[in-house]
Structure 1
C-alpha cells in the first residue's frame, strides 16, 4: 500500500517517535478494528482516516504512548486493552514521524468518548474487510509535477490511504 515512488528506508534523522493502536474488539461474532477521522483543523493530516495515536513523550514506550493517546482521543481505558505486540515501524515523511503500530485486543466494544478537538468521528471495520481484494484501490495524484498511483482501502464512504493503509496492509498480510 506504499505509493510507487516511495524509497525505503528513508533517512529518518530528525524524525519524532509516535505510536498508534490497533484495538481489536469482538462484535456480532467478528473481530473489528476502530478507525478515527481526524478533525479538519488545517493540519497536514486534517480530515484523514487514521488509527488513534500520536507522538511519544520523553522516555515513553510505544505501547504506553499508543494507550495514552488512544485514551485521550477515544476514551478507551488503557486497562481494558490486552497488548499483543508491535507491527513494523513506519516512517511518515510528510509529518516527520516514525510510527510504531501496537496491536491489542479488547473484551468488547468500549463506550467511545471522542475528543472533539482531535477526532471528528469513529467507525469500525470487520478485520475480514482487509482481506477483500475488491476494497484495495488506486488513484492517480500529482506530486511534484509527476503522476503517482496512490493505493488505498475503500471502506464505505472513506478512503484509507498513506501510513494507515500501509499498517492495515501489514495486518492483513499477517492474518492470511
Structure 2
C-alpha cells in the first residue's frame, strides 16, 4: 500500500475540473510545545507548528473535516503574479483573519486531484515570519482554527490509515491523531494525504505501523 497515492473517492471529470489552492503554513506560533520528541534528531523544533482549520459541519462537502486554509481560485486571483499563491493567501485571510504580510511564501507543490469536489488543488508552502492572531472568521465556513505541533504529527504512535467504505470498495488515507485543548482531532482524507507528502518530502516522517487502520471519523 502506497500511502502517498492520491485520496481518490470517485474520478475526476476533465470537462469541469476547477483550480484550488491551500496554504500549508509553518511557524513558531505559540507557547504550547509538542508533547512528542519525534523528529528532534531531524532538527524539528518542539515549537514548530502548522495551521489547521476545521470545516463547518453544515457544509455540503468535507463537512467537519480538519483542513488547510484554502479554496477555489477565483477570477480576480488571476490578476496577481501567481493566482495559486493569491488564492491560498486570500482564503487563509478570509477563514482565519491572519495578516498575510506576515507570511513568506516558500514555494508550491504539484497539484493534487480531489475528485469528490473535482478540484485540482495546489498546495502552497509558507513560513509565518510574523505571526498574527487567528480565529474563526465565518462560522458558516469553519468551526475551529488551531495550530498543530509538527512533532506530534510525526510521532508514529499518532499515525494510522483512515478507512471509508463506499459500496464494495474501501478507500484509505494516511491519518494523524492529535489532541487540541484536550479534544482528539483526526486529520485524514485529502488533507492527510497532502500532509503525509509534505512530511515525507521534508525528510521528517518516521516509520509507523502501516497495518493499523481505523474507520474515518464521521
Report TM bin, short chain: 0.7 to 0.9
- Judging changes above 3 Å, is the alpha-carbon distance between structure 1 residues 46 and 6 closer, same or farther for their aligned structure 2 residues? closer
Alignment of 1:48-127 (within 5 A): 48-58=65-75, 59=78, 61-115=83-137, 116-127=139-150
1:141 deviates by: 3.0
Aligned partners of 2:86 and 2:14: how far apart in 1? 22
The size of the alignment, in residue pairs, is 175
1:31 is the counterpart of 2:58: no
- Judging changes above 3 Å, is the alpha-carbon distance between structure 1 residues 17 and 140 closer, same or farther for their aligned structure 2 residues? closer
1:160 deviates by: 1.0
Q: SS in structure 2 opposite 1:72?
A: helix
Q: Conserved in 1, the CA contact under 8 Å of 2:173 and 2:192? A: no
Q: Give 5+ residue unaligned stretches, structure 1.
A: none
Q: Give 5+ residue unaligned stretches, structure 2.
A: 32-45, 204-218
TM-score (norm 1): 0.87
- Judging changes above 3 Å, is the alpha-carbon distance between structure 1 residues 152 and 5 closer, same or farther for their aligned structure 2 residues? closer
Aligned partners of 1:130 and 1:13: how far apart in 2? 37
**Other-structure match for 1:153:** 176
Aligned partners of 2:22 and 2:7: how far apart in 1? 24
Residue of 119, 122, 134 corresponding to 2:157: 134
1:125 deviates by: 1.1
Question: Greater strand percent: which structure?
Answer: 1
**Other-structure match for 2:23:** 21
Q: Which has the larger radius of gyration?
A: 2
- Judging changes above 3 Å, is the alpha-carbon distance between structure 1 residues 175 and 150 closer, same or farther for their aligned structure 2 residues? closer
Kindly report the root-mean-square deviation, in angstroms, between the aligned alpha carbons of the 2 structures: 2.4
**Other-structure match for 1:41:** 58
